[in-house]
Amino acid sequence: MRMGTVKSDLIAKLGHEGTTLRIEYRDGYTADYFKVPFTTFKALVRSKHPGEDWLKLRGQYDYKKAK
């Protein structure tokens, strides 16, 4: 999955493939979130505060630690 950086104190990188959103957090933890629409990914990439926006949304999605 291709990952891109964002300006955030919480999130280092974001990627999206199919319906999976991968987030690499600044603390090194990486998680895959499932059934995340591409529009949500694009909104996070374009956001001035992607970390804050993600904290409001992440409870809606199942996830697991990425390998």
| pLDDT value at 67 more than 90 | no
pLDDT in tens, 5-38: 999 999 999 999 999 999 999 999 999 999 999 9
Alpha helix (H) residue ranges in the chain: 38-46, 50-57
| Three-state SS at 15 | strand
Domain coverage including residue 41: 4-65
CB 26 within 8 A of CB 12: yes
Whether the pTM exceeds 0.85: the reply is yes
Per the structure, the count of domains in the chain is: 1
